[in-house]
Structure 1
Amino acid sequence: MATNGTDITHVTIDDDEDEDDQEVKLTADECQKLVEEFVALTQTDEALAQFYLQDRQWDVNRSVNDYLDQLATASGSGSTGDQNNSRKRHAIADEVVVSSDDNDVDNDNSNDCDIVFDTKNTKTLKTSDKSTEEEENQEVVTDIKDLRFICWNIDGIDEKNLRLRTEAVCKFIRNEKAFIVFLQEVNQTAESILRQQLPDYELLTGDSQIVDYYTATLIHKKSIKLDTNEIIPFHDSMMGRNLLKTKISIGNKSVYLLNTHLESTKDFADIRVQQLRRVFKLMTELDQQSTVIFGGDLNLRDNEVAKCGIPHKVYDVWIKTGARKELEYTWDMTRNDNLQFMGAKYKPRLRFDRIYVRPSTVAAAAPEVEAIRFGLIGLERLKPHVCFPSDHWGLTVHFKIK
């Protein structure tokens, strides 16, 4: 809907701890400034900033104070830590400048936060065509020390704004300078865009004969050597799911890539657990001198992982890198409204997308390939349709190469 030439979108924010929810109207530029302000004050990152600000009506003071309180609680700080945090709060209070007017806040006990996008002043993520400059500046790395990895269900099933959303995914891949990408829910339209806009990548698909969407693994042609690739079917799948198994070489290091989209919905939990067991078993059986990276939209619930059991020496990347709460939920309907459930009584948030690693046994002292950083991408809305790139957040991982 439009008001005085300004586009408006409604974002519902659930805050169980605050009964006096407010309706906040901010431009996209103002929201970004608040994110950057939180980052500067806390020395954290934008994912954490958005997590705190969105759940606290974009109040920087409150968000930073809550962050410091939780930080102190988590670290079990004593009086010295409390005094340090108190000094930080006073310093922050002097520095914080809220971008919106008091008139922009309407205390009507509403659960809606209206973010107003001013078409004249809003920063946009342009996704039309890959620029020549980006192509020319594409990094060529032969001695990789920081292996950048993305895993993302791009929701090719939803035809709405598919070109805009897929082009945004391509832009993220280029901007992140990813060497390896796992995608799920790719269809022929999305694949065509990916091939056109990402010519520096080898694109391998787990094309399904049953449904019209599938997985895709992308590897950077100039930096990584493709050794083998095969599709391993899940014969028990009712949804045409399979496992895309790719062996690559990064310098003299051997790595297996296992990209999949496990069975969806609660009704197929038993089949999903069996599929997970099969992949975990494969991880343990593959060449011990190779690193194995397994990930995708696994549709998992924690009790299903517990039922299956994570194999010895295999780790969950999110847990290994600190299990940060703001990075936990990859399918979060409290923050992402691309998908709407009519009549739903609550908005689910789940960690469907996961990455597991089995290190090689080549170096006993330290892994050859080790996950050191985990993050989320796709958290900002795209213009002009005011949607997210997908109903899932994308996962990014930085692996340290020894």
Structure 2
Amino acid sequence: MKQVLIAALASVTLSTPALAQKLAIVGGQVYTQTDQGVIDNATVLINDGKIEKIITGTQVPGGYEQFDAKGKVVTPGLFGAMTSLGLVEVESWAGTVDASVDNARISKTGAAFDVSYALNPDSTLMDVSRIEGVTAAATTISYTDYLFHGQGSIISVGADEPLVKRRAFIVLDVSASAAEASGGSRAALWVTLEQLFNEASVLSSVPTADKPWHGLNSRADLPVLKKILAGDMPLVMHASRKSDILQVLAFKQRYPDINVILMGADQAWRVADKLAQANVPVIVNPQMNLPESFDAIGATMQNAAILDAAGVVVAIGMETHNIRLATQHAGNAVANGLPHTSAIASLTSNPAAMFGVSDRVGSLTVGAQADVVVWSGDPLEVTEYAEQVFMAGEAIDMTSRQTQLRDRYMKLHQSDGATPVQYIKP
């Protein structure tokens, strides 16, 4: 009897989309994030965890398990443009925080740090994020007194082996907070930065351990700066006020091969045309419209719309614990002038392209990893939600610690005979 039951359960499991080698997501409005654009009543064909083809209509070839998406919206999995996912659990508990570096002898500047060694795929924030549609993310150190924030990674959110691309980018803060850690002035910060890159550029090779070295960079830092100078590793420069952004553009002009991405950018709308001309993409939080610091004076919720209209490639990003709310923030950007298609791109294809992984994530292009989200409706509306997320073609469990806690206390509440009056997001 026990063997019969096990066999029956196995049969049921193997017939579900979760383990299907060939899967068809049928009949949805599909945002391909490719030259195919948005296709109504389309079917996404998935084979062996990859996007095989997108076809118009609902006629599915034989051999495919089917997931009904009629009347739904289908998008690529969302890309968290700048997070510390997998590096932090509880910010106030040091044992769960690898997103902060105070002191390490291996590096003089922070460039050598590599977050891929610290990633925790079992972080509860992974499930919280991916059931809201976030399937990939750029993750890195969020706080350090060093000039550079170490080498960040691109991850597949919640996967057992999360690394999509290690040593994928590096963050450099050139805002007021970074100036405080560099002698208290931007006058020291920028001179230090120039000297570091000049030193790396004139060296034909990295000094070996058997030779004395007394440079500004440590031996571990130098290979990283050389990769940045060659354009092989994007340099994400954090700046908010106009004058700092102009310094970033001047830096880009002096080092044209460096692949610069601007982050923060609260006053970027004031120099949108210059950013477009320099082909510098921007990561913004469209909700930033308050002068939280002197750097943020003039911040506006129209920032993303103005940048997009000028031709700047825009991605939407925010801090780790709230990256699940990225669609809501994108919706607010739409309410303030950002075109809807641009908002979807800012959550998917744009950040993937910025970080050089657009062939793998961020779109439904043929051959890409089949990270797909089926939404109940417009994903930028707060009353709609991700009904089912597929990662590498497999349907994930749409629960997290938060949903389990919700269900526990909803049951306790209802057992008292009360009817909940608050809105409950499925």
Q: Common fold, TM-score beyond 0.5?
A: no
Larger Cα-atom Rg:
2
TM (norm. structure 1) is: 0.32
Say which structure, 1 or 2, has more relative contact order (CA 8 Å, 6+ apart): 2
TM (norm. structure 2) is: 0.30
